[in-house]
Amino acid sequence: MSEKYDLDELLREFSSYWDEAQAKEEKAAPSAPEYVAAPSPEDSGRDAEDYALPENEYPEYEQDHGYEEFREDFSRDYEEDEPGPGTEEPELPLKPKKNIFTEILMSVAGLIFLAVSAIAIIWVGLNVHPDAGVATTVSGSGKLNLMSGLDAYMNNAASDALSDLTYIRKIYTIDENATVAPVPDPDGFGTTDDPAVIQKLIDDAWELIAGQDMIWSPDADFVPGEPMRYYYDETILVIQWKEYIDGRCCTMAEVKLAHGSQLRRKIADDTYGSSIQLYASEMANAANSVIAINGDFYTFRDMGITVYQRKLYRSDFDSVDTCFFDSKGDMIFSKVGQFDNTADAEQFIQDNDILFSVAFGPVLVENGELIYCASYPIGEIDTQYSRSCIAQKGELHYLLMTINHTPDARPRATINELGSYIHSKGVDKAYCLDGGQTSEIVMMGGPVNYVDFGNERLVSDIIYFATAIPSSQEVSQ
């Protein structure tokens, strides 16, 4: 009887021959694989007849049992994959070319930044006393908060160095001991009777406003015939208007600053205790203010706590509330009797980085709450009187208000009425300043409210707001 063959066994045998051939090929040419056709029984040295099945042994199958078709499929696949003579290997995709200009620019910017950093470190080493905690200018004429001053310097240097690559907003500051601020850009001022103009100004100042809600509203009960005044540059936005509140003519001014150093105090003759008195408009113009309001008329009475250029000059703790202003532009209150002695007051000034203070009062609004005043030693609180106050709403955001006698004889206000009107504007803090004929807001060269008796009064001090952009760098809006 002829020998029997199993199809599965033949396939396995064929597969083993293919594995042996592939292993030999890898050993012979490890660096560049070559493709060869699958080995046939003839190449393996075996007689093809050894693979022939006996005829009619398995009549139910064809003689090749599908093996020939299987082998031909393998052969055809590898012949198709094998590169023919002269066939070029596919090219690898080219790497994108680098932008030489961008690389050079980035390198230069990096060198500039390193140079600026080195200069800043040298500057700190030369100007900071090891125990002081503050930096002074080389001339020793003033003090700067070390961190804020250095941050501003580094920020502006980076803004200049990287201006071609990205936008970095510059930080402008005013030396705290300067008696004159930078000159505001004349093109930044304007007047209008159209609320749409003011709304567009607010929209344009979005970066300075930084998401805060504005107090000015197109729905206010504006006084007919009174223009709205404004000023805007990248460090300060001022909107001034008049509106009726409870029948009173209220002169309002909203101010948004970029830096706390733009909120300032000026005293007559720039010397504390000087006997010289000036009109508020004179001091405002001399200081290059964008807008100003009267202060506490400190030489008229000897009450309260007075700080000027960080120095405590007056320490009457038991008479009136005091409003302090710190280096960040925040209003901080002290109440009557809060301090027991001068040492406590000086420690408070140091701990809170106080630059100056005004002493009149009382406090009208604190932490968003209206403060009722039952009695107070100055200000004739229960009398209809011309009033003046300053308020804060959020970071570097302020509201000034006066209520004055008017030609049409409108009523003025008591202290508690003033408090309720300023509180209705949503402020966080508010403080009453000197009133009567002293009550005054100055903008664009003169008073914008009706001053009692039609004439300014000679006074000793003002609070004012200034642009921080150096005069040589003014840019029209």
For residue 362, whether the previous peptide bond is cis, meaning omega lies within 30 degrees of 0, is yes
| 3-state SS class at 254 | strand
Q: Which residues of 17-31 are buried (b: 16+ CB within 10 A; e: fewer)?
A: beeeeeeeeeeeeee
Question: How far apart (Å, rounded) are the C-alpha atoms in residues 327 and 358?
Answer: 15
Kindly list the strands in the beta sheet with 461-465, ordered across the sheet, starting from the edge strand earlier in the chain: 263-267, 461-465, 291-294, 441-443, 446-447
How far lies 55's CA from each of 25, 64, 366, in Å? 36, 10, 112
Amino acid letter, residue 313: Y
- Break the chain into its structural domains and give their ranges: 7-81, 100-161, 186-473
Q: Which two tokens stand for residue 32?
A: 């560049």
pLDDT of the chain along its 477 residues, tens only? 445 555 566 556 656 655 666 666 655 555 544 444 545 545 544 444 444 444 444 444 444 445 455 455 545 554 555 555 555 555 555 555 556 766 777 777 677 777 766 776 665 455 443 333 333 333 333 444 555 555 555 566 555 555 555 556 789 999 999 999 999 999 999 999 999 999 999 999 999 999 999 999 999 999 999 999 999 999 999 999 999 999 999 999 999 999 999 999 999 999 999 999 999 999 999 999 999 999 999 888 889 999 999 999 999 999 999 999 999 999 999 999 999 999 999 999 999 999 999 999 999 999 999 999 999 999 999 999 999 999 999 999 999 999 998 888 899 999 999 999 999 999 999 999 999 999 999 999 999 999 999 999 999 999 999 999 998 665 444
DSSP class of residue 222 equals B
Q: What is the dihedral of CA 462, 465, 470, 472, to 10 degrees?
A: -80
Question: How far apart (Å, rounded) are the C-alpha atoms in residues 114 and 121?
Answer: 11
Q: Given the structure tokens 């807001």, which residue do they identify?
A: 441
Claim: this prediction has a pTM higher than 0.75? no
| 3-state SS class at 139 | coil
